[in-house]
Amino acid sequence: GAVVSQHPSWVICKSGTSVKIECRSLDFQATTMFWYRQFPKQSLMLMATSNEGSKATYEQGVEKDKFLINHASLTLSTLTVTSAHPEDSSFYICSANSPGNYGYTFGSGTRLTVV
């Protein structure tokens, strides 16, 4: 089946630093990837949609300069949290799908803690 690998699974960083999260589709080509943020005991909140080779589409209220998304290949999308602050601490999850595939496969998530 379709597998999406997300790394790291957890990261602690200092305020003001940047953190990069990788999302890879291991056995299929993902033309579209989605990035979500999830707070404890809440649902997934879509942050942005990235299409391979083009700029990401950000949801309203998501700072594109803070959450940089790059989808440079059909198997890799990255989310960089720039100048992280404690309020950016959250669980970030990526998801991928491909044409003709109704299945949206999710990564295992990244727990970001900014101290």
Partner 1 sequence: QQQVKQSPQSLIVQKGGISIINCAYENTAFDYFPWYQQFPGKGPALLIAIRPDVSEKKEGRFTISFNKSAKQFSLHIMDSQPGDSATYFCAARLNSGYSTLTFGKGTMLLVSP
Per the structure block, which two tokens stand in for 11?
């990261």
Identify the residue among 34, 56, 69, 90 touching partner 1 (CB under 8 A).
34
Give the C-alpha separation, 53 to 50, whole Å.
9
Interaction residues for partner 1, span 60-99 (CB under 8 A): 91, 93, 95, 97, 99
Number of residues binding to partner 1, judged by CB under 8 A = 27
- Our finding on whether 111 is near partner 1 (CB under 8 A) is yes
- Name 27's Cβ contacts closer than 8 Å, sequence gap at least 6: 1, 2, 3
Q: Cβ 66 to partner 1, closest distance in Å?
A: 20
Dig out the tokens for 88 from the structure. Answer: 């950016």
Phi and psi, residue 100, nearest 5°: 80, -5
Binding residues for partner 1 (CB under 8 A):
4, 6, 31-32, 34, 41-44, 46, 49, 51, 91, 93, 95, 97, 99-100, 102-109, 111
